[in-house]
Chain A
Amino acid sequence: MTQTAIAEHADEHHPTSFVSKYIWSQDHKVIAIQYSITAIFVGLVALVLSGLMRLQLGFPDQFSFINPESYLQFVTMHGMIMVVYLLTALLLGGFGNYLIPLMIGARDMVFPLLNMLSYWTYLLSVIVLLASFFVPGGPTGAGWTLYPPQAILPGTPGADWGILLMLISLGIFIVAFTMGGLNYVCTILQARTKGMTLMRMPLTIWGIFVATIMGLLAFPALLVSAIMMMMDKVVGTSFFMPAIISMGETLDHTGGSPILFQHLFWFFGHPEVYIVALPAFGIVSDILATHARKNIFGYRMMVWAIVVIGLLSFVVWAHHMYVSGMNPYFGFFFATTTLIIAVPTALKVYNWILTLWKGNIHLTVPMLFAIGFIFTFIHGGLSGLFLGNVVIDLPLSDTYFVVGHFHMVMGLSPILVLYAALYHWFPKVTGRMLHTGLGKIHFWTTLVGAYSVFLPMHYLGILGVPRRYFGMAGTDYIPESAQLLNANITVAAIIVAVVQLVFIVNVIISLRSGEKAPANPWGATTLEWQTPDNPPKHGNWGPEAPVVYRWAYDFSVPGAKDDFIPQNVPNSAVEVTDAAAFAEAGK
């Protein structure tokens, strides 16, 4: 479990040709970029799908290419792509791959070949998923939760081919994740450089570490449910399918339990929320500390909170099922655990704010996105407390309140962190700075625009507007003004979607003619900014692997000349202006 005489082992696969360097690459940095580009591409597909949904909701029946079936397909594919194929893949496959070896001082992942296979398997899962747009009947429209029995019965869009491709694609994704996940965990446990104890690891690595372990234990639930549902669909077993009459025809299924699927799905689904959130928590902690020039407040508490949240997230799943029909005592139990998990989560939020308190805050673009995250996460977290309580959840269930809540806490929040991370680490990955002006336009329009989308949804939900409906015909209790609000939301959503092009333009312009990035433009302490080359070359560290002498948060140390001391600088090499103050600071 301790650090090892590492990375010297990992330097055995020098790329020799274009293909081995950029296509079948085993270098973690190239694989990270491959993961990121694929995830961002498929995320843009999901973004377009959400735009199509909003067109129908804002301006009902104005667009002939959106019918009830395709609307449900947009909903399903948007949700599944965003949660699994974008967020999980980009945070763990993208940032996990890039940052783990660099931040812990390793030369690469411990299993580079497995790492490469992980990416190509992920790409295959994406291709299978997108193929469902082109099969008879189109992709599944069962909702991203894929609840049986409707997911595999005629009448649901894509009940023949679409659902099969979805289940197969998820199976392939889980294989890819397992290969990648084993790599991340083993690299963190075995390949840390000298001096990099567990408690000296940056919080980004802690978040990725715990999230990966959770993924290794939670994705099997999705795999198990996918296998069993596939058997129900293909060979006619009755694991989840009850006795049922479909389209006037009595089917052969008997006695299966749809609720069983829901339990399995959410046993994966809720940890999945934290598989996405914990890396985001870690990344945002590091970005806040770096750009506020202040050590993270309560580092140990932050680590413990990550671990505790990871554990607790396995015992809250049925709060997604209050209206499914459960023993009332179960509801009480799961509401209680849900409120308990809010404690370490709130602790993290307080610590972020206390990190900013009296910090030397630099409002750089990554910092703006990180602060934006604190706002959206607090809003999403608070509405989560409403939904976590059974009695408040019952009337709000399946309304736009839920849509507003989870988009705030699990859509917008991780996306803001991803942007913060992209702006923060772009100089390291490419050697160029992103354009600050374009970045600020991108941030402010995205934040204000996304708030205009998701905040009014809470109000719609309280009015009782149901989610997942193609149209609202004949619902007298919903006032006409709700439609006006829906039209506004759609306009805001389209503006936010278009503004994302500013980011893509920024990336293209900056790659071509952006300002050359210095080796450590933000004055960060972590190891990835201390590489001999920028961007780092294959093997990361040149002839000598770094040695770590301190934790990752020595910012503004009293008595030190600079306002940051990198992790690989020993005390004897620190330039000191006031030796007494420096000594008093415990250094």
Chain B
Amino acid sequence: MSIFSKLTEKPWLAQPEGMDPSLLQPAATYWPARTALRFFLATVTVIFLLFIMTMLGRSQMGDFHALAGEPWLPFDRPVQLWWNTGILLLSSLAMQVGLWLARKDQLQASLLAVMLAVLFVLGFMLAQWYVWQQLALAGFGLTTNPASSYFYLLTAVHLAHLFGGVVALGGLLQRYWRRQSSDKVVASLALCTTYWHYLFGIWLVLFALLTSSAGTIDSLAALCGF
């Protein structure tokens, strides 16, 4: 039943005894954690969307200088960031493989894949930290100009969300140790994998935005009405 037909029900009319469709309906899947994840991802989306909107608004002030677009700018050829993206992609893929193996009831192999995913995420964090250091050495500190401020801010917020994912994954690893049934592992792992892919998607958006040239950022800002 669509949400519209639900909202147009007439609840004051009684159903014939024993014929109440809501009583006869088979129970839907009881999976509150999935519902919670969906709403949580909506909240996370709003957080990043608002950060990005403020960046586009702020970019129209005179002192905003994009970090790419000219040969002397740090992200004109963001080689290191491409490497980092590759590491995060590997992490996402490892999670997907882990889920696939868990679904085939191969929990040992699945655990190995998930551990690899964690390793890649930790690697991504270190690699991002390395980029921060390189950027600072190149003279683009936290307060040098709003573009670099946004780079540190947005990557840090993204890392914080990844860190939260690793903590959540800690709970999942317990399920492996306790040798719980593969159904329970699959249920948790499916949600973690969704979260992983989602944060990879967010990183792609941030990567594209933060390494855009001034012209691209201005066009985006104009599109948003700034």
Interface residues of A (CB under 8 A from B): 1-6, 9, 110-111, 178, 181-183, 185-187, 189-191, 194-200, 213, 216-217, 219-221, 223-224, 227-228, 231, 235-239, 252, 254-257, 260, 263-264, 267, 295, 299-300, 303-304, 307, 547-551, 553-554, 570-572, 586-587
Complex interface: chain B residues within 8 A of A263 (CB): 57
Of residues B29, B61, B142, which shows the largest number of chain A Cβ atoms within 10 Å of its Cβ? Answer: B61
Give the tally of cross-chain contacts (CB within 8 A): 156
Complex interface: chain A residues within 8 A of B3 (CB): 1
Smallest Cβ-Cβ distance to A236: which chain B residue: B143
Interface string of B93-131 (1 = CB under 8 A from A): 000000000000000000000000000000000000000
Report the bound CA distance from A503 to B162 in whole Å: 48
Q: A9-B30, A185-B39, A217-B42 are in contact. List 6 more A-B contacts (CB 8 A).
A: A3-B22, A111-B32, A195-B23, A196-B22, A197-B22, A304-B7
Interface string of B1-44 (1 = CB under 8 A from A): 10100111111111101001011010111111001100110110
Residues A239 and B58 in contact, CB atoms below 8 Å apart: yes
Complex interface: chain B residues within 8 A of A182 (CB): 36, 39-40
Report the bound CA distance from A260 to B61 in whole Å: 11
B146 close to A (CB within 8 Å): yes
B50 close to A (CB within 8 Å): yes
Complex interface: chain A residues within 8 A of B54 (CB): 224, 228, 239, 260, 264
B149 close to A (CB within 8 Å): yes
Residues B58 and A547 in contact, CB atoms below 8 Å apart: no
Residues A199 and B7 in contact, CB atoms below 8 Å apart: yes
Residues B32 and A186 in contact, CB atoms below 8 Å apart: yes
Smallest CB–CB gap between B161 and chain A, Å?
Answer: 12
Smallest CB–CB gap between A56 and chain B, Å?
Answer: 37
Residues B17 and A572 in contact, CB atoms below 8 Å apart: yes
Complex interface: chain B residues within 8 A of A587 (CB): 14
Residues A4 and B27 in contact, CB atoms below 8 Å apart: yes
Report the bound CA distance from A221 to B143 in whole Å: 23
Complex interface: chain A residues within 8 A of B205 (CB): none
Report the bound CA distance from A238 to B143 in whole Å: 7
Do A220 and B50 contact each other (CB < 8 Å), given the known contacts A3-B28, A182-B36, A237-B142? yes
Can you list 21 residue pairs at the A/B interface with Cβ under 8 Å? A3-B22, A4-B28, A111-B32, A182-B36, A183-B36, A186-B39, A189-B35, A197-B9, A200-B11, A235-B143, A236-B143, A237-B142, A238-B63, A239-B146, A255-B63, A300-B10, A303-B7, A550-B11, A553-B12, A571-B17, A572-B17
Selected contact of B12 from candidates A213, A217, A237, A299, CB within 8 Å? A299
Complex interface: chain A residues within 8 A of B9 (CB): 197-199
Of residues B25, B47, B54, B63, which shows the largest number of chain A Cβ atoms within 10 Å of its Cβ? Answer: B54
Complex interface: chain B residues within 8 A of A110 (CB): 32, 36
B46 close to A (CB within 8 Å): yes
Residues B149 and A551 in contact, CB atoms below 8 Å apart: no
Report the bound CA distance from A260 to B56 in whole Å: 11
Selected contact of B35 from candidates A190, A239, A255, A550, CB within 8 Å? A190
Residues A300 and B36 in contact, CB atoms below 8 Å apart: no
Smallest Cβ-Cβ distance to B149: which chain A residue: A237
Report the bound CA distance from A199 to B63 in whole Å: 54
B204 close to A (CB within 8 Å): no
Report the bound CA distance from A239 to B14 in whole Å: 58
Report the bound CA distance from A11 to B156 in whole Å: 40
Smallest CB–CB gap between B15 and chain A, Å?
Answer: 8
The 8 closest A-B pairs by CB, nearest first: A255-B63, A551-B11, A110-B32, A5-B27, A199-B9, A186-B32, A220-B47, A237-B149
Do A300 and B35 contact each other (CB < 8 Å), given the known contacts A228-B153, A238-B146, A264-B50? no
Smallest CB–CB gap between A176 and chain B, Å?
Answer: 13
Complex interface: chain A residues within 8 A of B10 (CB): 199, 300
Residues A260 and B57 in contact, CB atoms below 8 Å apart: yes
Interface residues of B (CB under 8 A from A): 1, 3, 6-15, 17, 20, 22-23, 25, 27-32, 35-36, 39-40, 42-43, 46-47, 50-51, 54, 57-58, 61-64, 142-143, 146, 149, 153, 157
Residues B143 and A186 in contact, CB atoms below 8 Å apart: no
Complex interface: chain A residues within 8 A of B58 (CB): 239, 256-257, 260
Complex interface: chain A residues within 8 A of B32 (CB): 110-111, 186-187, 189-191
Do A185 and B61 contact each other (CB < 8 Å), given the known contacts A199-B11, A221-B50? no
Smallest CB–CB gap between B8 and chain A, Å?
Answer: 7
Report the bound CA distance from A391 to B64 in whole Å: 35
Report the bound CA distance from A183 to B36 in whole Å: 7
Complex interface: chain B residues within 8 A of A200 (CB): 11, 22
Residues A3 and B14 in contact, CB atoms below 8 Å apart: no
Smallest CB–CB gap between A209 and chain B, Å?
Answer: 12
Residues B50 and A267 in contact, CB atoms below 8 Å apart: yes
Of residues B14, B29, B42, which shows the largest number of chain A Cβ atoms within 10 Å of its Cβ? Answer: B14
Report the bound CA distance from A237 to B30 in whole Å: 47
Selected contact of B46 from candidates A194, A221, A256, CB within 8 Å? A221
Report the bound CA distance from A61 to B40 in whole Å: 50
Smallest CB–CB gap between A350 and chain B, Å?
Answer: 19
Report the bound CA distance from A375 to B143 in whole Å: 52
Report the bound CA distance from A9 to B50 in whole Å: 37
Selected contact of B17 from candidates A219, A221, A570, CB within 8 Å? A570
Residues B62 and A299 in contact, CB atoms below 8 Å apart: no
Selected contact of B149 from candidates A4, A187, A219, A239, CB within 8 Å? A239
Residues B42 and A198 in contact, CB atoms below 8 Å apart: no
Residues B50 and A224 in contact, CB atoms below 8 Å apart: yes
Smallest CB–CB gap between A189 and chain B, Å?
Answer: 5
Complex interface: chain B residues within 8 A of A3 (CB): 22, 25, 27-28
Residues B20 and A195 in contact, CB atoms below 8 Å apart: yes
Report the bound CA distance from A227 to B160 in whole Å: 13
Smallest Cβ-Cβ distance to A224: which chain B residue: B50
Residues A224 and B12 in contact, CB atoms below 8 Å apart: no
Residues B28 and A2 in contact, CB atoms below 8 Å apart: yes
Complex interface: chain B residues within 8 A of A548 (CB): 22
Residues B57 and A547 in contact, CB atoms below 8 Å apart: no
Report the bound CA distance from A357 to B118 in whole Å: 64
Complex interface: chain A residues within 8 A of B62 (CB): 255
Report the bound CA distance from A299 to B32 in whole Å: 28
Smallest CB–CB gap between A266 and chain B, Å?
Answer: 12
Smallest CB–CB gap between A95 and chain B, Å?
Answer: 20
Report the bound CA distance from A3 to B11 in whole Å: 15
Complex interface: chain A residues within 8 A of B29 (CB): 4
Residues A255 and B14 in contact, CB atoms below 8 Å apart: no
Of residues A9, A182, A263, which shows the largest number of chain B Cβ atoms within 10 Å of its Cβ? Answer: A182
Report the bound CA distance from A571 to B17 in whole Å: 7
Smallest CB–CB gap between B86 and chain A, Å?
Answer: 29
Complex interface: chain A residues within 8 A of B15 (CB): 549
